[in-house]
Structure 1
Amino acid sequence: MIIVCQKPLKILKISGITLFPFIFIRNLEDKKNKVLINHEKIHLRQQMEMLVIFFYIFYVVEYYYWLFRLKNPYQAYGQISFEREAYANEHDLNYLQKRKLWSFRKYL
């Protein structure tokens, strides 16, 4: 895991994004935000499980599936199984120690 602070994230209005093996955060002080970092670490684990490229393919396909159904980009993002797992468990800082392989499937 490599954490990088990127000012361009301010344009996107997001706090962080994970592109294996990097976690890009908007502000340097976000490096201390344990919940945000945990959320992004969950994405790192998901990406490793799916051999990285399949994660991105599945993520984009799932996003467009939900976008087509819901006609709302924010709601579509919120329905992606990877995001649902990460948001549901981001406050549990021990989640990754007990997480089972391919746990995102229960959020499909």
Structure 2
Amino acid sequence: MAFFIVVPSLPAAAMALYPFILVKKAIYKEDKVLVNHEKIHFRQQLELFILLFYLLYFCFYLFNLLKYKKHALAYSQIPFEKEAYQKELDMNYLKNRPFYFWINFLK
């Protein structure tokens, strides 16, 4: 179950901070694809005991930023984001998702 919090100043449309999904606008709570994307992040967070997820996410981002020198590209190359974007349209994905599947996006 997700708890939604509307944060108008959020720099993105949504953000998963287990067990909360922060959304920029209340209407985004109804966006099934966006919510599915964030729930994929929930699963990743739980696999990594939440804090390790955030540490790895930050490290991947910093590494990518040094490598690509562009925020958008650095963000898009984070393995957690790659998995979430690739699978966000599959509303049944989390029912069958293999444990630690984000590792397949490490390249």
Q: Which sections of structure 2, spanning at least 5 residues, go unmatched? A: none
Distance, in Å, in 1 between the alignment partners of 2:36 and 2:4 is 12
Moved runs in structure 1, 4+ residues, more than 6 A?
A: none
Percent identity for Structure 1 against Structure 2: 39
Instruction: Report the Cα distance in structure 2 between the residues aligned to 1:61 and 1:25, rounded to whole angstroms.
Output: 24
Quote the Cα distance in structure 2 between the aligned partners of 1:95 and 1:49. 16
SS where residue 21 of structure 2 aligns? strand
C-alpha distance in structure 2 between counterparts of 1:26 and 1:71, whole Å: 26
For the pair 1:90 / 2:88, whether they are aligned, the reply is yes
Equivalent residue for 1:72?
Answer: 70
What stretches of structure 1 of length at least 5 have no aligned partner?
A: none
Alpha-carbon deviation of 1:27? 1.0
Query: Alpha carbon RMSD of aligned pairs, Å?
Result: 0.7
- Render the CA deviation track for 1:9-49: whole Å, top value 9, x for unaligned: 1xx2x110011111001111111100000000000010000
C-alpha distance in 2 between matches for 1:28 and 1:63: 28
After TM superposition, give the deviation of residue 73 of structure 1 in Å. 1.0
Letter matched to residue 42 of structure 2: L
1:6 positional shift: 1.3
TM-score (normalised: structure 1) = 0.95
Aligned pair count reads 105
Distance 1:74 1:30 in 2: 21
SS at match of 2:99: coil
Q: CA deviation at 1:4?
A: 1.2
